[in-house]
DNA sequence: CCACTAAAGCAAATAGTTTGCTTTTAGAGC
DNA sequence: GCTCTAAAAGCAAACTATTTGCTTTAGTGG
């Protein structure tokens, strides 16, 4: 018989058997990570396992390493929960969105999440993460297109605006300020089209 | 007598007592890391210690964690060993330098080094790493200035050319190709001035 | 040359990880 | 709905890595 495969979610962390238990345990473990992080506890696999009411070996067998688990937790939080606000002025929306994005990513939790995503051996989470960003930009661009405007390509926005912000967060001594971010947007809008 | 402080190197890894032994052991450990990596061995602290003829506790006390050690090893390799070649045409030099930089960073060893640098808790190594890049760019810019030309600011080059390359390496599904890199340079040179 | 101290060695204790085996449970076919 | 199957969880015993207290070594300054 052929595969029926009605996968409930296409979330990170492929679940070859999407029955209730797998999901329940995954949720418990993710919650445990969040709660321990919140509480400022040491994030170790045994600690997470205990807090989640699960055996360490369960975590090791599902995720392999702590880094992979933390990476999955991070992408989860990096998934945007809403489309960028729509003010009717897509340039302003772009600027606003980027300012918020930069602030969020430059914050300590934000930086930690990026670090966690990148620390995993598996590279997919990083791609997913940047795909989320691209999708947000696409939403803003689509609104511009709908109004007959011609916004820069998503790839251009990623290169000119997202990449510099992330680069500075990862490699810079000080975190990118709002003024700097606004400058990036102004530039890409300024020379992308008259 | 005042401090004589003939510090052999001002390398990363502050050495409060620059006597011969500290340096010898550091070198032995770094070499051990390189050799084990080369040999495809599992990179663990005990393995490195054994290979370096040193106790694990020495490594733990000096570096704290494997991640910190690997980070220090990585910056060491990321330090440029020579100034960018000088062809007399700084635009060509810039393009050539970036192409080589991108290729090096996008290679498996290159990616691993960036990962290692970013994985450390201490954030200084990442800054040092980007400072190296800035210095290389400065050399090229200085040549342009010496000829009365007006190259883009280093910060602009970092944002427009280095950041996108690194972003794509870290977050992208496929590695930035030479054509793409050349395009970035062309753009920044194209609209930075005339 | 001696005293002083930072750093290394050593080894025991602790903590984290892996693994073989057993048990549970979701899903498929009847 | 009931059984069968196999993926995934539990358990516990190795195993490996990390931490730590104490001792020893070796640069540095007197």
Number of H helices, E strands in chain A: 10, 0
User: For strand D, is any atom closer than 7 Å to the CB of B6?
Assistant: no
Q: Does residue A84 surpass a pLDDT of 70?
A: yes
Q: Does residue A25 surpass a pLDDT of 80?
A: yes
pLDDT value at position A103? 97
Q: Does residue A192 surpass a pLDDT of 90?
A: no
Indicate the DSSP class of residue B176. P
pLDDT value at position A194? 43
Same structural domain, A26 and A96: no
Report the CATH number that the domain containing residue A49 is assigned in CATH: 1.10.10
Among A184-193, B37-46, B173-182, where is mean pLDDT lowest?
A: A184-193
| A4 found inside a domain | no
Same structural domain, A59 and A94: no
Q: Do A164 and B160 touch (CB under 8 A)?
A: yes
User: Residues in chain A whose beta carbon is closer than 8 A to a beta carbon of chain B?
Assistant: 115, 118-119, 126-127, 129-130, 158-160, 162-164, 166-168, 170-173, 184, 191
C chain positions with any atom within 7 Å of a protein CB: 6-11, 15-20, 25-29
Q: Please tell me whether residue B73 adopts helix, strand or coil conformation.
A: helix
Q: Does residue B19 surpass a pLDDT of 80?
A: no
Place of tokens 């990026």: A114
- Residue range B135-161: average pLDDT? 97
Report which of A189, A170, A178 is spatially closest to residue A129, judged by C-alpha positions: A170
pLDDT value at position A34? 98
Q: Do B171 and A115 touch (CB under 8 A)?
A: no
Q: In this predicted model, what pLDDT tens digit does every residue of A130-143 receive, in sequence order? A: 999 999 999 999 99
- Residue range A27-55: average pLDDT? 97
Place of tokens 């000829």: B147
* 3-state helix, strand and coil shares in percent for chain A, rounded to the nearest 5: 70, 0, 30
8 A C-beta contact, residue A20 and residue A28:
no
Give the angle B80-B84-B87 at the CA atoms, nearest 5°. Answer: 165
D chain positions with any atom within 7 Å of a protein CB: 7-12, 16-21, 26-30
- Residue range B42-50: average pLDDT? 97
Q: Does residue A42 surpass a pLDDT of 80?
A: yes
Same structural domain, B183 and B88: yes
Q: Do A159 and B129 touch (CB under 8 A)?
A: no
Q: Does residue B135 surpass a pLDDT of 60?
A: yes
- CB count in 10 Å sphere of residue B167: 22
Chain A residue numbers with beta carbons less than 8 Å from the beta carbon of B158 are 164, 167
- Residue range B81-89: average pLDDT? 96
Q: Which of residues 74-93 of A touch strand D (CB under 7 A)?
A: none
Average pLDDT, chain A: 90
Domain that holds residue B26: 20-64
At A22, the pLDDT band (50, 70, 90 cuts) reads confident
8 A C-beta contact, residue A178 and residue A99:
yes
Separation between Cα atoms, residue A46 and residue A55, nearest integer Å: 8
Rg for chain B, CA atoms, rounded? 19
Among A1-5, A65-69, A117-121, A165-169, where is mean pLDDT lowest?
A: A1-5
Same structural domain, A131 and A186: yes
Same structural domain, B129 and B45: no
């Amino acid at each position: 018989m052929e595969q029926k495969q009605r996968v409930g979610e296409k979330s990170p962390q492929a679940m070859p058997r999407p029955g209730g238990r797998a999901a329940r345990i995954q949720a418990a473990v993710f919650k445990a990570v969040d709660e321990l992080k919140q509480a400022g506890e040491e994030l170790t696999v045994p600690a997470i396992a205990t807090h989640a009411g699960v055996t360490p070996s369960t975590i090791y067998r599902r995720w392999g390493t702590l880094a992979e688990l933390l990476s999955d937790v991070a992408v989860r939080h990096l998934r945007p929960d809403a489309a960028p606000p729509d003010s009717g002025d897509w340039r302003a929306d772009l600027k606003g969105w980027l300012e918020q994005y930069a602030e969020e990513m430059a914050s300590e939790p934000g930086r930690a999440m990026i670090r966690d995503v990148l620390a995993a051996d598996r590279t997919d989470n990083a791609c997913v993460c940047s795909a989320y960003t691209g999708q947000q930009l696409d939403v803003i661009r689509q609104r511009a297109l709908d109004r007959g405007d011609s916004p820069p390509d998503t790839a251009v926005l990623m290169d000119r605006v997202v990449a510099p912000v992330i680069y500075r967060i990862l490699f810079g001594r000080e975190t990118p300020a709002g003024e700097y971010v606004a400058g990036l947007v102004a530039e890409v809008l300024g020379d992308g089209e008259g």
